[in-house]
């Protein structure tokens, strides 16, 4: 019996969707446009999170060691740094490696540094990476108090600016995403409201003969879910094409190469965006249907 009722509800929902072709098509177009914008903001937010993780892995504090420090003291300093909360990795850079790094930066003018091979002025150092960019300032202050630390170089201002920009974009994207969900619910509820209005007398009769609200609401919820899911699936296809083109052009720019940062491929975020769109499609469809039916079920 339950399977017969379920079959009836699905059949009626599909019939409503196909019967109201103009309103359904209008809803699909508007919903796809809305979900496209939603998807673009979503992938931007995911890429910001990915970029910040890459910057956290690259951004470090350079701790220059006193020239007079013994090997035992250098090792002890590393252990102290590594024990600090928020420190991810501590990499030792020898005096020779520091000199070679500078030579590579000078490229064709590296001969200017030839005399420094015998008298290397560059001190050994530790490159300290952190797990959370917001902690880089406090970690640097703690390291400054350790013995055999000559000087510390960190990019607090750059880090703070990056965090502020990232957080600002995340907040803005969150507001836009919530706004687009509300719009989507409004669109679906108005589309279904047209069907409900056309069948208002039939709904009233069903109420008087004892049909439950859930039974009456069922086909319209199915209709809302169909519109939501179709919009979601088509939107994912469009976003995939748009994202691959835009991401490809960004990755081809010299800036990304210099920064050593890469964007996520669509394949990497497909599973997440698929689940999000699936939940959105079903959720918006159900909510839109419930909202549109409320007035007509109050008999």
Give 33-86 pLDDT, tens digit per residue.
888 888 888 888 888 878 777 766 666 788 888 888 888 998 899 999 899 988
Task: Map out the domains of the chain as residue ranges.
Answer: 2-55+160-297, 60-154
Query: Which residues pair with residue 129 across a beta bridge?
Result: 60, 89
For the entire predicted model, the pTM comes to 0.61
**Cα angle for residues 200, 232, 238 (degrees, 5° grid):** 135
pLDDT reading at 238 higher than 60: yes
Instruction: Check if the beta carbon of residue 171 is closer than 8 Å to that of residue 48.
Output: no
Q: Can you say whether residue 24 is alpha, beta or left, with left for phi > 0 and alpha for psi between -120 and 50 degrees?
A: alpha
Give 150-176 pLDDT, tens digit per residue.
888 776 555 566 667 777 777 887 888
Instruction: Check if the beta carbon of residue 98 is closer than 8 Å to that of residue 62.
Output: no
Would you list the DSSP string of 186-222? HHHHHHHHHHHHHTHHHHHHHHHTT--HHHHHHHHHH
Tell me the C-alpha distance between 72 and 151, whole Å: 19
The CATH classification number of 60-154 equals 3.30.70.3040
pLDDT reading at 1 higher than 50: no
pLDDT band at 255 (very low <50, low <70, confident <90, very high): low
Give 122-144 pLDDT, tens digit per residue.
788 888 888 777 777 888 889 88
Residue reference for tokens 């350079």: 62
199 vs 72 pLDDT, higher one: 72
Give 77-111 pLDDT, tens digit per residue.
999 989 998 888 888 888 888 777 766 656 555 56
């Amino acid at each position: 019996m339950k399977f017969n009722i379920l079959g009836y509800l699905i059949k009626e929902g599909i019939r409503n969707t196909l019967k109201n072709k103009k309103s359904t098509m209008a809803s699909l177009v508007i919903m796809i446009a809305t979900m496209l914008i939603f998807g673009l903001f979503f992938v931007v937010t995911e890429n910001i999170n990915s970029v910040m993780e890459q910057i956290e892995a690259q951004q470090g504090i350079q701790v220059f060691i006193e020239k007079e420090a013994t090997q035992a003291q250098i090792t002890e300093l590393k252990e102290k740094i590594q024990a600090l909360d928020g420190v991810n990795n501590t990499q030792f850079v020898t005096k020779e490696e520091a000199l070679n790094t500078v030579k590579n930066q000078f490229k064709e003018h590296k001969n200017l540094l030839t005399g420094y091979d015998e008298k290397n002025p560059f001190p050994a150092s530790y490159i300290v990476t952190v797990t959370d960019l917001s902690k880089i300032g406090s970690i640097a202050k703690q390291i400054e108090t350790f013995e055999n630390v000559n000087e510390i170089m960190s990019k607090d201002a750059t880090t703070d600016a990056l965090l502020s920009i990232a957080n600002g974009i995340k907040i803005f994207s969150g507001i836009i995403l919530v706004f687009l969900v509300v719009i989507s619910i409004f669109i679906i509820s108005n589309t279904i409201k047209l069907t409900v209005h056309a069948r208002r007398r039939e709904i009233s009769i069903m109420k008087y003969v004892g049909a439950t609200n859930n039974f009456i609401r069922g086909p319209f919820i199915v209709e809302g879910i169909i519109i939501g899911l179709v919009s979601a699936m088509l939107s994912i296809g469009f976003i995939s094409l748009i994202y691959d083109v835009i991401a490809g052009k960004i990755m081809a720019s010299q800036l990304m190469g210099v920064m050593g940062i890469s964007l996520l491929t669509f394949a990497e975020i497909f599973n997440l965006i698929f689940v999000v769109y699936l939940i959105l499609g079903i959720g918006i469809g159900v909510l839109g249907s419930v909202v549109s039916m409320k007035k007509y079920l109050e008999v």
